[in-house]
Amino acid sequence: MLSEALKKSIVQRLGDFPGRTSFYYKDLESGGVFSFREAEPMTAASVIKLTVMAELFRQLEAGELDGGRLIEIRDADRVPICGVLTFMHSGMTVTPLDLCWLMITVSDNMATNMLIDLLGREKIQANSRALGLDGMKLQRKLFDVRPEFRGLSNTITAAGSARLLELIYRRELVSPAASDTMMDMLLAQQCTNKIPLLLPGEGLAAHKTGEDDTVSHDVGILMAKKPCIVCFCNWRLEPGSEGRLNVLIGQIAREIWDAQGGAPRR
């Protein structure tokens, strides 16, 4: 568990940062929790992709979706980056798992929307409710400009994100095998400028970032000697302050890493 001095320092530094910040920490061995504003819904950005991943594996496990199904890339599916799929040629085929690897590891927006169409937005949201992911709401596809979706936004909470991550860590999300694959995807995350920024090596954080105008999140599992969950969520940022926040997240994550015993057991 974190020292009282470190907790006070985290609250002060994140609370003083421009914007609105929430934070969640849980020691996965002792069960100790430290958090603030953890239930406050915030604009989701790409962290909402975790709920899409969870529903994909539920459907695969239930036999509702063929994991070997080939899906053709269409011009109609192209959306602005993050990611790489929007640059690929029309007619190329991918599987649902291909799309999920892209969605998580490089935060591919086009892959995300293709999965939402494939799985069904209502089913994704129903699964989030069934899992108890409070405040995690997928209300629209990314960059959806259709009139009926104007004014709607996807939301997350630090607590809801943490619950999903803990289910994966404990191998309880869908099945042990499915949880293991989801963990592998999170460990292969290529956006490493926040939680992993100052960690002493690669593959030490299983995490998912999210960025948008005035939004910056990173939620994940630190694979330290004493593993823990850390969720940093911030919105209403001042333009141009994202870089400073990313460094702050990296600094605090390293301090928590050290407090959790540093390098994992071999």
| CATH number of the CATH domain containing 198 | 3.40.710.10
CA angle 227, 173, 197 (to 5 degrees): 40
Question: What's the pLDDT at 248?
Answer: 97
- Determine, yes or no, domain membership for 209: yes
Residues 6+ apart with CB under 8 A from 46: 82, 107, 109, 112, 208, 209, 210, 211, 217
Task: Tell me which amino acid residue 82 is.
Answer: C
Look at residue 266 and tell me whether its pLDDT is greater than 70: no
- Determine, yes or no, domain membership for 266: no
Question: What's the pLDDT at 180?
Answer: 98
- Determine, yes or no, domain membership for 207: yes
- Determine, yes or no, domain membership for 264: no
Question: What's the pLDDT at 81?
Answer: 86
Question: How sure is the predictor about 80, in pLDDT bands with cuts at 50, 70 and 90?
Answer: confident
Residues 6+ apart with CB under 8 A from 66: none
Look at residue 56 and tell me whether its pLDDT is greater than 90: yes
pLDDT tens across 134-155, in order?
Answer: 999 999 999 876 766 677 889 9
Q: For helices 96-105 and 109-119, give the axis angle rounded to 10 degrees.
A: 140
Question: What's the pLDDT at 147?
Answer: 67
- Determine, yes or no, domain membership for 28: yes
Question: How sure is the predictor about 128, in pLDDT bands with cuts at 50, 70 and 90?
Answer: very high
Question: What's the pLDDT at 134?
Answer: 95
- Determine, yes or no, domain membership for 192: yes
Question: What's the pLDDT at 149?
Answer: 66
CA angle 103, 107, 109 (to 5 degrees): 75
Look at residue 52 and tell me whether its pLDDT is greater than 90: yes
Residues 6+ apart with CB under 8 A from 24: 33, 35, 38, 158, 159, 161, 162, 229, 230, 231
- Determine, yes or no, domain membership for 223: yes
Mean pLDDT in residue range 249-263: 97
Residues 6+ apart with CB under 8 A from 221: 28, 165, 168, 169, 186, 205, 206, 207, 227, 228, 229, 230
Number of domains in the chain: 1
Range of the domain at 172: 4-259
Question: How sure is the predictor about 165, in pLDDT bands with cuts at 50, 70 and 90?
Answer: very high
Reading phi first (left if > 0) and then psi (alpha if -120 to 50, else beta), residue 174 is in left
- Determine, yes or no, domain membership for 220: yes
pTM: 0.96
User: What's the first-to-final CA gap in the chain, in angstroms?
Assistant: 21
CA distances from 97 to 66, 79, 169 (A): 10, 20, 20
Look at residue 98 and tell me whether its pLDDT is greater than 90: yes
Q: Pick from 143, 84, 133: which is nearest to 108 by CA?
A: 84
Question: What's the pLDDT at 152?
Answer: 83
DSSP SS3 for 159:
helix
Q: Pick from 69, 43, 52: which is nearest to 121 by CA?
A: 52
Q: Average pLDDT of the chain? A: 95
Mean pLDDT in residue range 173-198: 98
